Structure 1
């Protein structure tokens, strides 16, 4: 066939192809875009960059340190006993929030009750009454933090925490009486004041007491619950009459006086920078 014929046929094919491409170019472009988008969305997930010097699944030093720090934080407080008193109102104090049963007078004296989510002690009889509530095992180095309020201070009424309690006649106590924070010991029923500092406390105001026994040293401080805890101990005293015993609450009340305890916690005590003389 003549070359001119072939050349003519080729030109016709090129022209027709151009016309077809022009007519369907938008559809072709749209289909290509959809295909690329599908490939992007259905591709393999992006891999997390691997830290140099590690293999997949290996913990980095930072992750290991964080895990160790979390474990150490969980073990910092060695709880001996705790009660938040967040339970239904009832006679006596019953079982604390930590599952332990209160002992002493707390589960046998009618003066004790759970009232409005607090541990209440009320002297309903004439004259003065002394009441004890103990929680948790005996321990050597113990620290108590408790919150409570007294309806009316005066006439020897006081709110206190006890450590190294052995029996009714042998223990250490830190208490507030409206005018002072005092630490005393009872040895075979004989009271000895170890140290006292001025501390004004108001009726029907919530206060916190922190009392620690560590070795032959006793530490105490008190503050209003809506205030800031003092950095330093208000009382530091030395005594070796008792080396072990339970923790708890001890109050002295006059007729119709009411004490409400809102929290109690006893932990294994440790020496810190604020425990030095």
Structure 2
């Protein structure tokens, strides 16, 4: 298959945007419009825009996970296309050289000499991402005993939910064998906690499935689903207590500074539970309302909640598990065997949000610095347009993005847009790199130089960081790509390492070797490249090595510069801060490891 521009997909993307908000299966009921929901691609079809339909922001678990919204239609929306004639083009001082195009004193476009991307003024949009649902079925083996003891991970990373933190009393009490997360209760009266390192979860619908490998003697054993978890001394939990009589009780409680308070009376679930039976605990928290139920996995889920209470002690916090053998348990060790941990819906306390009126368009050839009548026609055609641009395409791979299938071309019948993962898992639960744009689509690809790369059945639906960048700028926006390394400066190389030096376009800024670049001329759509893993440094040349790439999105609601990239911990494209803040400001991993900025 040969590479062709994907501009023919724009109508399909717009239709998808009109049909469903990004991240939801069904649009919420309409109300008085304050924003017009567009389904992730950023451009509603005319009929959808006229309707003024909107959704309530984050109405508890199940809210839109990610979204791109435009303001409601009014006179100001259309005024942006009323350009005076002629347009005025002025070369701005500084490096890289840029030409500003204005109309009536207002900026219409910003072109960079030597680059194809153009920053165009348009309707303001808001990009938002929320928590990605996930299921961890523990399909891995940990710890990896081939690693040095200090590097061993005992529960590893959940698929899309973040890394597990295991606490108390000993790291060796935790392990994973294929299909089961194990917590070994080797001592009594010592809680063991496994929590996901995502401290920002508020509303949540979460469940776990687990069993004890033997009936307790001497004293009870219990396992709990934790939520609103601040630390081992402060958290909510829905706890199943397995008594020595065979009885099972559900307790919903909070622990504040080591003091435990029952939020409801214990609920008796069984009087003689069979040994080794799996039990499910489910919690749904919305605001201060907490509901919980539990049942034996080989029976139907109860329709009613066993506990329904209100408490607002803890706001945002982690979700996880707790296991305990009460003091006096005599048949230790007892093992808690967890077969599933599942977050069906969740909201972050403050989902990352970026709002601006910058649209990133792509010229067929780099701008040579000469303002022509043909360029003016192109810019006039872009003015006020809501056809999907670079940022809209990039957002269409976030959590919850609806699938879009190509109607023609080399990828005909294949999914070319929609929620993406990062890569498949190795036996120890680590995600493989290597998912390029064509592997997301499940096809092979022949590049302009004749090189052919085959498909990978294991990487369908996945994009690593450079594959994501190539999918957006190469496959969808038509910038030529290379099969691998390429020093011509005419094609996008395969890896972020080569992109840092050889991506078509211009260098905007680069580290001086002592500090990250200030990147004060950074624009939405720019490639941001990082030396985020010192293990990839080249000791022979004694220079840092770029190993991660993203697309700058813009300034977020807190005034910090935020970018999109595909990441292992989140399992796919993200603008969020799970497993490392997606920010270029501050002291986080990416802010301190920014290496190079390039403009396509």
**8 Å Cα contact 2:224/2:239 also seen in 1:** yes
**8 Å Cα contact 1:114/1:120 also seen in 2:** yes
The equivalent of 1:268 in structure 2 is 346
Pairwise CA distance, 1:100:
2.5
Pairwise CA distance, 1:261:
0.6
Pairwise CA distance, 1:262:
0.8
Deviations 1:204-250 (A, max 9, x none): 11111101222111110011222211111111112121122111001
Of 133-142 and 82-91, the range deviating more from structure 2: 82-91
Q: More strand per residue: 1 or 2?
A: 1
CA distance in 2, matches of 1:122, 1:81: 25
Within a 5 Å distance, the mapping from 1:1-277 to structure 2 comes to 67-68=19-20, 72-73=24-25, 78-79=131-132, 82-90=135-143, 92-98=154-160, 100-105=162-167, 109-125=171-187, 127-138=188-199, 139-154=201-216, 155-178=219-242, 179-195=248-264, 196-200=266-270, 201-253=273-325, 254=329, 255-266=332-343, 267-268=345-346
Of 226-235 and 82-91, the range deviating more from structure 2: 82-91
Which structure has the bigger radius of gyration? 1
**8 Å Cα contact 2:221/2:324 also seen in 1:** yes
Q: Secondary structure at the match of 1:101?
A: strand
- Give TM-score, length-normalised by structure 2: 0.32
Q: More helix per residue: 1 or 2?
A: 1
CA distance in 2, matches of 1:156, 1:204: 15
- Give TM-score, length-normalised by structure 1: 0.66
Q: Secondary structure at the match of 2:304?
A: coil
What is the CA RMSD across the aligned residues, in angstroms? Answer: 3.0
Q: Secondary structure at the match of 1:90?
A: coil
CA distance in 2, matches of 1:98, 1:173: 22
Pairwise CA distance, 1:97:
2.7
Pairwise CA distance, 1:182:
0.8
**8 Å Cα contact 1:161/1:174 also seen in 2:** yes
CA distance in 2, matches of 1:168, 1:103: 11
Q: Secondary structure at the match of 2:235?
A: strand
Pairwise CA distance, 1:72:
2.6
Name stretches of at least 5 consecutive residues in structure 1 with no aligned partner: 1-56, 270-277
CA distance in 1, matches of 2:315, 2:157: 27
